Amino acid sequence: MNLFLSQEQEEIRELVHDLCLERVEPRAAEIDESAEFPWDIKELFAKNDILAIPFTPEYGGVSGSALTLIVAVEEISKFCATSSLILSVQSLGSLPIWLAGSEEQKRKYLPPLARGEQLASYALTEPGSGSDAGGMRTRAIKHGDTYVLNGSKTFITGGSVADTIVVFARTDQDGDTPARNISAFIVEKTMPGFKVGKLEKKLGIRGSPTAQLFFQDVALPAANRIGDEGEGFKIAMRVLDHSRPGIAAQALGIAEGAFDLARRYALERHQFGKPIAEFQGIQFILADMATQIEAARALTYAAGDALDRKLPDIGVSSPLNG
């Protein structure tokens, strides 16, 4: 029993663990080998309400707690990193709507995501703007009640399989104004002018598509803008504050999975008449791994707990973050 977790969170962990042991672990190697998005695992998660974890019950979800989401992502990652991203990106792509959307947007977009009928993604990065997200060039120009979106995004996790994509674009007219003139928009994959480009060939997490996205004269109703015009950069950063602990949870779960394999192998493998786990040199390595995992877990859970308790110092110390 972990001191950080409630009885309910422990139960969710157990449920996710058992499901992944039975259904995800046997698929993990072939998902990575084939580099294809595992629709069967997405269905499994939808059917078992795992995709509902990031959402509160009023929007069709089962939790909405950052720490519960972390525990679920950690548990899935022990077995398959691709599969854990299905859940964490469902959260990442819906967070802009959840944190800054109107009630109408929440009621329209969140329930189908919570039910796992639709998938979400988050499109901030561009070929010329990574760490410097404020330097983006994708632009949405307002004509009456419609914005016309032009530009491209790159490295978008789940971008090729998502139904609802939150896209960040400049809404200034002259192009010289800094990050404050970025706005966030909900793009639906069926909108004319939206196109998926190439998928990255990655070394790992290969079943998770990392896509290039193109927008050519995509007509967006003003009702699809999240928050006020110019609030997009702040929204993007708030979303990253909320979603980065999920990436830590993924790394933590992968480390735990690797540790478990290493420990089992050390017990199985015999040299000089005994399991190699009995040699002190191997014990040092395993002890160091276990210590680092325990420390990483404490830090990751503390971040989730801080998010759930809405501690004020969780945010990025950027003046734009408010």
Ligand X SMILES: Cc1cc2nc3c(=O)[nH]c(=O)nc-3n(C[C@H](O)[C@H](O)[C@H](O)COP(=O)(O)OP(=O)(O)OC[C@H]3O[C@@H](n4cnc5c(N)ncnc54)[C@H](O)[C@@H]3O)c2cc1C
Residue nearest to ligand X according to CB distances in the complex: 130
| Cα dihedral sign, 191-155-20-110 | negative
**Of 125 and 146, which CB lies nearer to ligand X in the complex structure?**
125
**Of 47 and 198, which CB lies nearer to ligand X in the complex structure?**
198
Residue 90 CB, nearest approach to ligand X (Å)? 12
Q: Which one of residues 63, 157, 183, 243 is an interface residue with ligand X (CB under 6 A)? A: 157
- If binding is defined by CB under 6 A, does position 59 make contact with ligand X? no
- If binding is defined by CB under 6 A, does position 163 make contact with ligand X? no
The position carrying tokens 């039975």 is 22
| DSSP secondary structure string for all residues of 181-225 | GEEEEEEETTSTTEEEEEEP--SSSTTS-EEEEEEEEEEEEGGGE
* Residue 58 CB burial class (10 angstroms; 0-12, 13-18, ≥19): exposed
**Of 41 and 165, which CB lies nearer to ligand X in the complex structure?**
165
**Of 125 and 150, which CB lies nearer to ligand X in the complex structure?**
125
- If binding is defined by CB under 6 A, does position 136 make contact with ligand X? no
Distance CA 282, CA 277 (A): 6
Residue 131 CB, nearest approach to ligand X (Å)? 3
Distance CA 223, CA 225 (A): 6
Torsion of CA 113, 119, 122, 125, to 10 degrees: 180
Query: Phi, psi (5° rounding) for residue 75?
Result: -65, -45
Q: Which one of residues 120, 123, 136, 226 is an interface residue with ligand X (CB under 6 A)? A: 123
Q: Which one of residues 59, 109, 122, 185 is an interface residue with ligand X (CB under 6 A)? A: 122
Residue type at 173 in one-letter notation: Q
Distance CA 40, CA 33 (A): 16
Q: Which one of residues 3, 7, 131, 281 is an interface residue with ligand X (CB under 6 A)? A: 131
Q: Which one of residues 48, 56, 125, 146 is an interface residue with ligand X (CB under 6 A)? A: 125
- If binding is defined by CB under 6 A, does position 57 make contact with ligand X? no
- If binding is defined by CB under 6 A, does position 196 make contact with ligand X? no
Q: Which stretch binds ligand X (CB under 6 A): 107-115, 118-126, 141-149, 243-251?
A: 118-126
Distance CA 83, CA 26 (A): 12
Residue ranges binding ligand X (CB under 6 A): 121-125, 130-131, 155-157, 210
